[in-house]
Amino acid sequence: MIGFILRRLLLLCPVLLGVITLVFFLIHLIPGDPVELMLGDSAFSADKDELREQLGLNKPVYEQYGRYLTGLFKGDLGISIHSREPVLENIVERLPATLELMAGAMFVAIGLAIPLGLISAVKRGSWIDQLAMFFSLLGVSIPNFWLGPMLILLFAIQLDWLPVNERGSFLHLILPAITLGTALASILSRITRSSVIETLGTDYIRTALSKGISEFQIVTRHAFRNALIPVVTVIGLQVGVLLSGAIITEYIFDWPGLGLLLIEGIQTRDYPLVQGCVIFIATSYVFVNLLTDLSYALVDPRVRLQ
């Protein structure tokens, strides 16, 4: 187990270096000058040059890249150009809101997908199965940037049932969590259905049926547990989708998380802030995949990590 973890951690190094390099040079290719955004077009050239020198933007790009890598090795994500605060502090300040939104979205996704997938697998081919898969297809086809405003119009404006914008009570979380969790629920329900159907066709399930064990016990205690590997895999992989989807969702609902912070950084051409947010998201995604691999042994005792 320890050897497996060490090998995976070593493989993460070139991946993260590639992400850092790609993000750094792509953000510098975006049109616009952060100095002009901060001072305005009417500012004097001398003032712009002075600020550009203070921020280190007058150096060649390769030199900026080298300085940025050196800072990363020391655990320094840089200083925000716009707020003049450490990027790491900004990320840590916004992280709880994003984790809260992701937890709510995951709760919605699992709460909808697992029962829906199990029922569809047991009632395979019936009208219940077809109806469930129709809603699953509908959910994965609706983008967040459309679903979010529609939920706001219906539940916040027309019916006035739920609050919208910013982060507050539990009620503020409902609409963003549904918006972000719907697509994951659709994918997860299909994976659960196909995995359980495959498990129900195995010999040991037929043996359990011949012994008179109830269908409910077979599905919940035997088939579902042995069908969890694909489900856990999809959940782990979809964490990255939740992080990227949270950018749009947080912007729609004015949710003060990492996604909104990233949008603000892009709008102000805040290079260190954008780089820090993307690197943090990419690193989180990679480590979640590692934890997903390690969880296989807990979900299925047959799995042994060499």
- Higher pLDDT pick, 152 / 44: 152
- Higher pLDDT pick, 127 / 217: 127
Mean pLDDT, residues 65-89: 83
Asked if the 88-299 domain carries CATH number 1.20.1250.20, the reply is: no
The answer to whether residues 77 and 85 touch, using CB atoms and an 8 Å cutoff, is: no
Phi-psi region of 78 (alpha: psi -120 to 50; beta: other; left: phi over 0): left
Per-residue confidence band for 305, with pLDDT thresholds at 50, 70 and 90: very low
Query: What percentage of the chain exceeds 70 in pLDDT?
Result: 88
pLDDT digits (tens, 9 = 90+) for 242-299: 776 678 888 888 888 888 888 888 887 787 888 888 888 888 887 787 777 777 666 6
Global pTM value: 0.79
Residue ranges per structural domain of the chain: 35-76, 88-299
Structure tokens at 260: 């909104």
> Is pLDDT above 80 for 224?
no
pLDDT of residue 41: 66
pLDDT of residue 300: 60
